[in-house]
Structure 1
């Protein structure tokens, strides 16, 4: 018996067919610091959350 795709898979496929990126977003890197992709705040390599805007990388919740 086959299983139906999850809602997330259906939405990701819909968006990707229309040119949107569907990969999980993580930290950017700037020299030896982590950089928040939302606000550009710089953090130590051990940071788990942006202390400027509160952004948390996908999969960290």
Structure 2
């Protein structure tokens, strides 16, 4: 029975082909959080983007 490839090997395979393998996080702009998808600015207590619905944990 063959074993599944490790996550590191799979991540490297995707990265070699131009795919993002690291989880996205909020960007920072001045003293606000900035959505990496749409660029909307939010207060530091924001959990999801109220403009596009982006969620860093989804």
Deviations 1:5-52 (A, max 9, x none): 45xx22x22112234331111000000000000000000000000000
Structure 1, unpaired ranges of 5+: none
Aligned residues: 54
Structure 2, unpaired ranges of 5+: none
Runs of 4+ more than 3 Å apart: 3-6
- Is 2:19 the partner of 1:24? no
TM-score with structure 2 setting the length: 0.75
TM-score with structure 1 setting the length: 0.72
RMSD of Structure 2 on Structure 1 (CA): 1.8
- 2:52 — aligned with what? 53
